[in-house]
Structures are given as C-alpha cells and as structure tokens.
Chain A
Amino acid sequence: MTTSLRVQTVRYGRDAPGLLAMLGSVAAATRVLRAGAADWAVTVAIGDCGGPEGPDAVVAEEVIAEAREMFARADITFDYVSFMTNTGHGAGQNLLANRTAETHRTGGERDVLVLLNPDTYLAPNCLATLVGVLDDDTVGIAEARQIPLEHPKFFDPVTGDTPWASGSLMAMRRSVFDVLGGFEPAFFLHGDDVDLSWRVRLGGLRVRHVPEAAVFHDKELMVTGFPAPSPEEEYHVVLARLLLGHRAERGDFVDWWLNWAEVNGSELHRGAAAEFLGKRAEGSLPLTYREALGVSEEQVASVAFFHEGEYAEHRF
C-alpha cells in the first residue's frame, strides 16, 4: 500500500540558493527513505509569505522551475503556493496542510507530515529515521536533532521523550495533526511548536527527540558564540511566552514576563507585551487548554512546565 509523506515549509525571505539547497537535501533524504520502502508517495510543498519587502517578494520563477524539474526527476510531487500575505508560520503550515487534503493524500492511517523551516538542511538518513520512529503508535511527534547547535532542552537519554519538539524539523502522523487542528494561529512566529507539542502530550501521545536523525539548522553566530536573533524573533519570543502562559493559565508566568519586558526588555519586547495586553483587554486571546481541550488543571500542570522564564528544563 502506498503511504504518503508530505514535507512542507513556510517561506519568508529565505534566499534562493539556500532554499534550493534545502529542497535538494529533501530529495536526497527521499532517496534514502525509498531505498527502505519504495512505495512512498512524496510531496514537497512551499507556502510563500513573501519577504520584508512585501508579500509579493516571492521566490523567483526560475528557482521554482528548477525545483520543479529537480523533483520531477526524483518522482516527487511539488506544490508551490504564494499566499500573497504574511500568514505567519503556524497559519501558513495549516493552509498548506489543508490545501492538499484531497489531492495529495492516500487517506491512510500512516500518512506522515514533515514540517520544517526553510533555513534547514536534512542529513540523508533524516526522513527514513523519523518515519521509522513514527511506527510506534505512542509517538505523536518525532523531532530531529539540530546541528551545528543542539537545542539545550532536556530529553530522556533512554526513551528520547522530550517536553516539546522544535519546528525546525518535526514529523508526525497526518491523522494526529488533523485531530489537533494543526497549529494555533495566534502564535505568529515562535512558540507554535511548543503549543502543538503540549497538546499532543495532553492527548496522551509522546513527543520524541530522535538524535539519530540530524538536521542542519543554519545559524549565524555572533562573536560570542550565540545565534544572532532577528528583530522578528526578538518580538515574538516574548509574545509566545505570554501566550503559552495564558493558555496554561499560569498568571505568575505571564506576570513574570510582563514585568521582565517592562524592566529589562527592549522596545520590541515591550511592544510584544503591549500586544498581549491589548488582546487580553479586548478578549481576543486564544482559549486556554482547559477551555479548548476539556482537560483538568492537573493535566495541564503535568505538561506545561514553567521555570525561571523558560518552558522546558535545559541540559546546559
């Protein structure tokens, strides 16, 4: 039986050579995947949000043509769509997933969705390894190990269980994604992966870190060795924490970040705090986990970890 695997990314301003390199790595990883089981119907989808110049600053036609040709040679369906607006990451991924609900699915229980960032590059065995891990029905999301900088969040060295999976590259069964309704669109750039992971765990499934599956996540390092954050990241890193705190009904965590933004934050941080407060005043914040999922306070507390401003325990 043919099983479908859909790899999808939401692009915003990623340069063409890097995008093509990423797509090439998907093609190489597909070869390795099919070497194990040849009946994979693979689709690669790009949702184009434009760039800082505007929503119509889309990928050049010749780049799309080159990608189309490359995927045709590799027997991979290619699906490119320009949203003509900056949807944000989660909403874009939802649109991409829904857009192909009829045409590119086998409807099988084992259909797999791979969500990744455009500034990544897959190790050749990445897809095959992640798909193998999803054979375990208790696993809701399988997350790749990032290089050159590993994420410092905790994972269990025996089971691989981890509090949340990074959206830089995560694989999950399509049915799980559909049941959860995809990403919560209130998260624009950051935190949607944490939110999705928590909802998967509240649904009784595991989130697994898979160290054998590597993904190169391009970073520019500052002279200090830390990654250089973009202004967008600076803004949304605070907004995401406030939204997560709100969803988990952790007023103390929300207040901690509001206070931090006020006392220590930059203008962007304070802007994020103001947006959160504005939405709270007008009642347009997303539902809490208890409201949305009907789970208990204890269940939320067992999944939503907050400590000293972070939402996971770190290894270093």
Chain B
Amino acid sequence: MIRLEKRPQPSAAWSYVTPVLAVLATMVAGGLMFAALGKDPVVAIRTIFWDPIFGEFAFYYRGQLLVKAAPLVLIALGLSLGFRAGIWNIGAEGQYIMGAVCGAAVGLAFYPADLWIVFPLMVIAGALGGVAWAMIPAILKTKFNTNEILVSLLLVYVAEEILASMAQGLLRNPEGSGFPGSRNLSRYDAAANNELIVGSGMHWGVVTALIAVIAAYVLLNRHRVGFHIRLTGQAPRAARFAGVRPDALVIFCFGIAGALAGLAGLFEVAGPAGQISIDFNVGYGFTAIIVAFLGRLHPVGILLAGLLMALTYIGGEAAQSTLGLPAAAIQAFQGMLLFFLLAVDVLTDYRIGLGRRGVA
C-alpha cells in the first residue's frame, strides 16, 4: 500500500529535482507520442532539444532562442508574482496584444518622422496598454469581487477582436493595397526593435527581460512588497494581520504583469513580427503560464524555463520542416510538460510511504 505523508517542510532538494524529472518524463511521453505519429522518437527528440544548440545550424538557432525566450520570460515573470500570492492572471495573451497595439499605434502615428524619441514613447505606450488591459480584471476583482480568472481570460477574446479590427481598420497600411496588416515597423528605423548585435538575436526585449529577472529577484527577496506577496500566498490570514492590503496587492500584481506582457508585445511587434496583423499573437501569453510553473515561480528558474520552452518552439519548427512533425504535436508536448510538472510536484510537499499504518 502506497500512501503520501505530508512533509513538515517542503523539501528543498526535491524542489530542484522535480522540474528536471518532469522534463525527462515529458521527453519519454513525448517520444511515445512521436512514435505513435510514425516518427522516430530518438531523432525527433534530438531535432527538438539537441540540434538547435549544438547542430549544424546552431549559429542561426541560438539567436532565435533569445528572440523566442524574451517574451516568454517577460510575461512569465509578471505572472509569477501574482501566482505566488494566489492571484490568477491568466489573460496575459490579451495584455500582450493590447501592448503591441498601443505601442504600434504610437509608432505609426509618428511615421515617417525620424526622431529618437519615437521608440521610447512606443515602449511607454506598450507598457501602459498592457497595464490598462490588466486593470480591468484587477479593478473588477477589488471593487466587485469578480473572479479574476474568468474575466482576464474572457478579455483575451475581446483583445483578439480589437486586434482584428485594428489590422483591418485604423492601423492598416494605407499603401498595403487593401491587405489587412499595418506598416512594417521593423523597416521604420525610428521605431524598429532590431538586433543590437547582428546575428546574436539580442534586441531590446532580451535586454529588458534580463533586467526584469534581476528586478524580480530583488523585489521578491529584498523588498517588503515581495515579502507581502510570498506571505499572502502561504498564509493569507497571517498576511492580513501583518498589515498586507489584499486589494493593493491585486492591483500591484496585475499592474506589473500587464506592464511586462505589454512590453513583450511591443518588442515583438516592433522587431521579430514587424507589424500588427490579424494573427499577430501566437499564444506566448498562455505558454508563459507553463514557463512560470516550470521555473517554480522563481525569477532565475523562469529564465531557464523560458530558454527551454523557446527551445521546444525552435526545435519544433525544425522538426516540422525536416521530419514533418505537425505543429500541434509541439503544443500537446508543451501541455504535457505542465501536467508532469504538477504531477511530480507532490514529491516536494509529500513523502511516499510504503505499508499500511492505522486507518488513514
């Protein structure tokens, strides 16, 4: 008879081992899935996880790794603060879209002026766009006690409609012969978020993500707000006695998450994506949820998790072109990873005991 005994303290050792264990389990289960699709599982796993870093075309893929990881890390960092405090913002995808739309709108308003101020203004607009969208569930939560999970998620669909409307209407390229989609921002020098060092993949989003990792670490470990976040997550009642204002914390966590998601959207639209188009968003806001948990809601963990998840995107694309592995298989693979993470997490808080002892 196997049973679970609660540990007096969560095991520190297991909290480092479990993410690795989950990744390995996902590789095995994913390999089985690839085999079921008629692909050689070993080749598929190697194409996804090994070749982009050490293979023949690694010089190209390594840069792409940073490009894909930056938005994931930015969004996941913001989400992790809320998740730690039991505040569930799962609408980062919408905040990401609104950041991109607002930032791009500012950039396009200045077109074709060649001023240095354009890009900084776009960055500010992008962050504010994300914040504004995140404030809707936050304020509804604090004023009307509305469930923030549902509201933030439903707003993603509203944001997608706004994106479609913008791509076909207000922000459409007047010289685009009627096709939906805005002007290409990456070809407008004052607004472009191009690589800082050619071939490195390093753009302003990557720099911001690295700064955000450090800032989040300092906030959580050295600042009173970070202490309040952790306290609220572990003991909400104790937190209230300690003087934490729950409403202020909700606003703070949503605000930071919205700002970071908005920034991620802006850096994406001004650089790698280049333009506002109907299918501009590709689900980074949702994948970032997996990244946040894979990184155990810890800033450094999230940085590593973001890189790993970016690897599955890039390797997935490579496997798509070389092995004909469907794109959906990667999506299922990423979802599986989150399952395994949650499953092995039990080992951190519980110890497995064998044999029967009394009536449980």
Decide whether A and B are members of one complex: no
Residues of B within 8 A of A (CB): none
